[in-house]
């Protein structure tokens, strides 16, 4: 039962209500404040009450994670359910407004306060590691736009609480012209009264977006190393030393922590599996499994073709030498791939450090847009394609033909950066850093898609049968007619006599339903659920592997097919980061 339903439940049951109120008051009388997992509940502070909004359904702009629970389902993954309880109308308002403005559970965030214990998610061996005492000091740059006050302050305090002072040069908060009143006056007052002189607030006079925002932050920084964080993070035990050490050793090394998952609905903190960064030809970031060759030890650094974007550390002077960011990129998107390509192509390296853990609240939608409603991801991706991708930008345009002629502004300064640094070609990057990436070029693949249904080429069918989800004990079928292009798939009661439930899995790794359409995962809108499309025969969006743990892995988005809610009759499925849970287990049974 999710917390959410539980709470709506109590609203409508007066009996439950009285029990809850009784419980609450008796607890409050006994101990002043009830304590859940040693975390005192702070009554929401200074929240103004405004009309109620209903929560928009989770759509999901997140590049990767819709993770449910921790790998291995540790007990640390869940906070006490009382944390999210709604005791009065005020709580309801805080929660509803919070979801509306921030797309996560602000009620719980406020109650957690600015400090909390976190489960130590590192491998045990990390605790035995010894780092040099003399390391460069860090300037932590946190750029924010309309962030929830408690989430921002928890980010700041987690850094102050878990960083040895001599390694923390300063924290620079860049307010990207937020509209929320508490991020102005209240924040200034709080910083003056409660935070050390180390915390500085810089304010943008107009909204710049996170890319120019970080450049502003970096320009104010004076520490040796820049550490960028999103404004809804919590750093974990001894997070900074493992990031600083490799930079100290080699100034052209850029490092990312493992990004642990803070649930947007429960604020529970759980470990992420060790994965590394990739991308697809829609120029969306994705998580990839770590190739065996990179997995030398559970604590060793992992070379990563790309970074997710928000959380990384880099020598400050090297950041400037390498060309900071592309200042022509707006608001959100694309800068993560741009800096990743630039690091590798121009003589640096990008590593993920398993012993450094930082949690991030993964929301199901982005709660803000761009000022003029532009698609900044497309604008920024265009710039990055034209500067860095050479002939391989065609891969992007094949997926987004409408962008081929789209203007992208002046890129001469960025081309000059590439020239000045004598960077490698994109082909070099693909060959040496991301050999897993599949290329659909006119040379090795037919340019005209081959339709299996048209009989031009028939890949051999390896297995046939129903696809049963082990948790829901239901089978994957078309939501409407199996011949309907673009139709969704859902799970329904299995029926071995129904040919419309029969999937064929072929040597091209396609999954074809009822001999008609292929299971397809959009590379352009990677947060959408999979759908049924005409088979195109060129892998990518239609390439699935039936792998270990019975998982159904989608190669192009790097995620697994999961049942959303096994008990719901709706039977919705979605892509989620692979975590081995039962909701992600499928059996092809003939």
Taking CB under 6 A as the criterion, the residue among 99, 114, 145, 279 binding ligand LR7 is 145
510 is an interface residue for Mn ion by CB under 5 A: no
Q: Which stretch binds ligand LR7 (CB under 6 A): 33-41, 138-146, 418-426, 547-555?
A: 138-146
Q: What x/- string results for residues 185 through 224 when contact with ligand LR7 is judged by CB under 6 A? A: ----------------------x-xx--x-----------
Contact (CB, 8 A) for 169 and 201: no
Cβ-closest position to ligand LR7: 309
Question: Which residue is associated with the tokens 């693909």?
Answer: 430
Question: Which residue is associated with the tokens 């999710």?
Answer: 2
- Crossing angle of helices 412-420 and 335-345, in 10° steps, is 30
Q: What x/- string results for residues 254 through 293 when contact with ligand LR7 is judged by CB under 6 A? A: -----x----------------------------------
Q: How far apart are CA 566 and CA 570, in angstroms?
A: 9
Q: Which stretch binds Mn ion (CB under 5 A): 126-134, 188-196, 230-238, 241-249?
A: 230-238
Q: What x/- string results for residues 492 through 531 when contact with ligand LR7 is judged by CB under 6 A? A: ----------------------------------------
Taking CB under 6 A as the criterion, the residue among 91, 170, 176, 182 binding ligand LR7 is 176
305 is an interface residue for ligand LR7 by CB under 6 A: no
Instruction: Compute the chain's Rg from CA coordinates.
Output: 25
Q: How far apart are CA 525 and CA 262, in angstroms?
A: 23
CB burial of residue 294 (10 Å; 0-12, 13-18, 19+)? middle
231 is an interface residue for ligand LR7 by CB under 6 A: yes
Q: How far apart are CA 259 and CA 174, in angstroms?
A: 22
Number of residues that make up the chain: 590
Q: How far is the CB of 156 from ligand LR7 (least distance, A)?
A: 12
Query: Which pair of structure tokens corresponds to residue 293?
Result: 């060759």
Q: Which residue from 183, 345, 143 is spatially nearest to 254, judged by alpha carbons?
A: 345
Q: How far is the CB of 294 from ligand LR7 (least distance, A)?
A: 19
The sign of the torsion formed by the CA atoms of 65, 66, 72, 78 equals: positive
**DSSP states of 210-274:** HHHHHHHHHHH--SSEEEEE-SSEEE-TT-SHHHHHHHHH-TTEEEEEEEEEEETTT--EEPPP-
144 is an interface residue for ligand LR7 by CB under 6 A: yes
Q: Which of residues 217 and 223 has its CB atom nearest to ligand LR7 in the complex? A: 217
Q: How far is the CB of 306 from ligand LR7 (least distance, A)?
A: 10
Q: Which of residues 333 and 530 has its CB atom nearest to ligand LR7 in the complex? A: 333
Q: Which of residues 92 and 146 has its CB atom nearest to ligand LR7 in the complex? A: 146
Q: What x/- string results for residues 7 through 46 when contact with ligand LR7 is judged by CB under 6 A? A: ----------------------------------------
571 is an interface residue for ligand LR7 by CB under 6 A: no
Query: Which pair of structure tokens corresponds to residue 21?
Result: 């109120």
Q: Which of residues 311 and 353 has its CB atom nearest to ligand LR7 in the complex? A: 311
Contact (CB, 8 A) for 309 and 285: yes
Q: How far apart are CA 299 and CA 129, in angstroms?
A: 9
338 is an interface residue for Mn ion by CB under 5 A: no
Q: Which residue from 414, 364, 359, 346 is spatially nearest to 385, judged by alpha carbons?
A: 414
Q: Which stretch binds ligand LR7 (CB under 6 A): 59-67, 318-326, 512-520, 578-586?
A: 59-67
Q: Which stretch binds Mn ion (CB under 5 A): 224-232, 235-243, 345-353, 431-439?
A: 224-232
333 is an interface residue for ligand LR7 by CB under 6 A: yes
Q: How far is the CB of 312 from ligand LR7 (least distance, A)?
A: 8
Query: Which pair of structure tokens corresponds to residue 239?
Result: 């997070």
Question: Which residue is associated with the tokens 């592309």?
Answer: 326
Q: Which stretch binds ligand LR7 (CB under 6 A): 11-19, 302-310, 472-480, 515-523?
A: 302-310
Q: How far apart are CA 157 and CA 114, in angstroms?
A: 6
230 is an interface residue for Mn ion by CB under 5 A: yes
CB-based contacts of 36: which residues, under 8 Å, 6+ apart? 79, 80, 82, 83
Q: How far apart are CA 539 and CA 162, in angstroms?
A: 45
Query: Which pair of structure tokens corresponds to residue 37?
Result: 């997992």
Strand partners, 140: 171, 227
- Residues lying near Mn ion in the complex (CB under 5 A): 230
Chain contacts with ligand LR7 (rule: CB under 6 A): 62-65, 143-145, 147, 176, 207, 209-210, 213, 230-231, 259, 308-311, 331-333, 335-336, 360, 366
């Amino acid at each position: 039962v999710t917390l959410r339903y539980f709470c709506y439940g109590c609203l409508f049951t007066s009996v439950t209500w009285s029990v809850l109120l009784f419980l609450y008051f008796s607890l409050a009388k006994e101990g002043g404040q009830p304590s859940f997992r040693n975390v005192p509940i702070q009554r929401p502070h200074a929240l103004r009450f405004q009309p109620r909004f209903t929560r928009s359904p989770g759509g999901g702009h997140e590049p990767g994670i819709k993770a449910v629970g921790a790998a291995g389902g540790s007990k640390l993954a869940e906070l006490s359910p009382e944390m999210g309880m709604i005791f009065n109308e005020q709580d309801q308002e805080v929660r509803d407004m919070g979801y509306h403005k921030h797309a996560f559970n602000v009620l719980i965030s406020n109650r957690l306060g600015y400090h909390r214990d976190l489960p130590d998610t590192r491998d045990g061996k990390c605790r035995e590691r010894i780092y040099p005492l003399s390391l460069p000091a860090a300037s932590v740059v946190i750029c924010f736009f309309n962030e929830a006050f408690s989430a921002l302050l928890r980010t700041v305090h987690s850094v102050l609480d878990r960083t040895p002072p001599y390694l923390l040069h300063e924290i620079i908060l860049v307010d990207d012209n937020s509209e929320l009143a508490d991020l102005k006056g209240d924040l200034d007052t709080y910083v003056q009264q409660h935070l050390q002189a180390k915390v500085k607030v810089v304010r943008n006079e107009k909204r710049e977006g996170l890319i120019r925002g970080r450049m502003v932050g970096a320009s104010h920084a004076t520490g040796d190393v820049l550490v960028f964080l999103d404004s809804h993070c919590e750093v974990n035990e001894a997070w900074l030393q493992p990031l600083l050490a490799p930079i100290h050793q080699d100034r052209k090394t850029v490092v990312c922590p493992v990004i642990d998952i803070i649930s947007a609905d429960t604020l529970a903190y759980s470990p992420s599996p060790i994965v590394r960064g990739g991308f697809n030809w829609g120029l969306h970031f994705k998580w990839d499994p770590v190739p065996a060759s990179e997995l030398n030890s559970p604590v060793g650094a992992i070379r990563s073709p790309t970074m997710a974007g928000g959380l990384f550390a880099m020598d400050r002077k090297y950041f400037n030498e390498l060309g900071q960011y592309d200042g022509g990129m707006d608001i959100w998107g694309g800068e993560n791939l741009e800096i990743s390509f630039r690091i590798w192509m121009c003589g640096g390296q990008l590593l993920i450090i398993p012993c450094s853990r930082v949690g991030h609240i993964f929301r199901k939608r982005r709660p803000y847009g761009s000022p003029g409603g532009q698609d900044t991801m497309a604008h920024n991706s265009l710039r990055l394609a034209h500067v860095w991708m050479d002939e391989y930008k065609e891969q992007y345009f094949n997926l987004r033909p409408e962008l081929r002629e789209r203007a992208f502004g002046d890129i001469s300064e960025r081309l000059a950066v590439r020239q000045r640094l004598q960077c490698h070609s994109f082909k070099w990057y693909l060959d040496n850093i991301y050999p897993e990436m599949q290329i659909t070029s006119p040379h090795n693949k037919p340019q005209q898609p081959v339709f299996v249904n048209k009989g031009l080429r028939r890949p051999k069918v390896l297995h046939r049968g129903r696809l049963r989800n082990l948790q829901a004990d239901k089978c994957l079928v078309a939501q409407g007619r199996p011949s309907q292009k673009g139709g969704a798939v859902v799970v329904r009661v299995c029926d071995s006599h129904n040919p419309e439930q029969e999937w064929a899995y072929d040597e091209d790794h396609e999954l074809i339903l009822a001999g008609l359409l292929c299971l397809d995962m959009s590379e352009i809108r990677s947060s959408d659920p999979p759908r049924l499309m005409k088979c195109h025969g060129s892998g990518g969006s239609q390439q699935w592997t039936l792998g270990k743990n019975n998982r159904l892995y989608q190669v192009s988005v790097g995620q697994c097919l999961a049942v959303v809610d096994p008990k719901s009759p709706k039977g919705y499925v979605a892509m989620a980061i692979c975590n081995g849970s039962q909701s992600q287990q499928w059996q092809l049974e003939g």
